[in-house]
């Protein structure tokens, strides 16, 4: 019977990737624009700050899962020297995404939370603007990883 380890790891890997990339798309294309349309700045910024804080905890878990499942699959395949170039590209772009995520969470989201608590809506809005730009970059890097992961393996 063939080993189910790699398909099982790949399944967890894809669930983690879908949570991160899909969550960014939901925030960017649906949650933030709807909040801008319907809520005044104090409610909007408080709500978005809380929603982002909760989402970022799930992203951290997804990153741990992506790294654990990704490197386990690499180990089962015989190490980094034995895998196809698309896995190297996936890892490289994923590391860039993780650094951007760390900057969003540690710097800009922390700043936003501080300004929301202080009731400084202008500064909180400016921090949210920077988060939005960086999430947009990470969203497209995530899409690029999906394309490289799926199309790249056949090239």
- Where along the sequence are the contacts to ligand HEM (CB under 6 A)? 10, 13-14, 17, 20-21, 66-67, 70-71, 73-74, 87, 90-91, 94, 97, 142, 145-146, 149-150, 153
CB–CB of 49/109 below 8 Å? yes
What's the DSSP call for residue 154?
Answer: G
Q: How far is the CB of 13 from ligand HEM (least distance, A)?
A: 5
Where b means 16+ CB within 10 Å and e means fewer, 24-39 reads beebeeebbeebeeee
Q: Considering beta carbons, is residue 100 or 123 the nearer one to ligand HEM? A: 100
Q: Which residue is nearest to ligand HEM (CB)?
A: 70
- Minimum Å gap between C-beta 38 and ligand HEM is 31
C-beta of 62: minimal distance to ligand HEM in Å?
Answer: 8
Which residue number, 25 or 150, has a Cβ lying nearer to ligand HEM?
Answer: 150
Residues across the chain:
155
Buried b (16+ CB within 10 A) or exposed e, 83-96: beebbeebbebbee
């Amino acid at each position: 019977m063939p080993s189910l380890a790699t398909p099982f790891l790949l399944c967890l890997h894809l669930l983690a990737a879908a949570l991160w990339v899909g969550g960014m798309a939901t925030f960017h294309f649906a949650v933030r624009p709807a909040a801008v349309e319907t809520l005044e700045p104090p409610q909007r910024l408080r709500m978005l700050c809380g929603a982002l804080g909760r989402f970022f905890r799930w992203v951290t878990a997804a990153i741990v899962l992506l790294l654990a499942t990704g490197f386990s699959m690499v180990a089962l395949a015989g190490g980094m020297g034995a895998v196809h170039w698309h896995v190297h590209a996936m890892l490289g772009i994923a590391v860039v995404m993780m650094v951007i995520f760390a900057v969003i969470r540690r710097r800009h989201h922390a700043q936003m939370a501080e300004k929301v608590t202080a009731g400084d809506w202008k500064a909180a809005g400016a921090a949210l603007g920077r988060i939005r730009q960086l999430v947009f970059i990470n969203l497209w890097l995530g899409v690029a990883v999906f394309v490289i992961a799926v199309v790249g393996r056949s090239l």
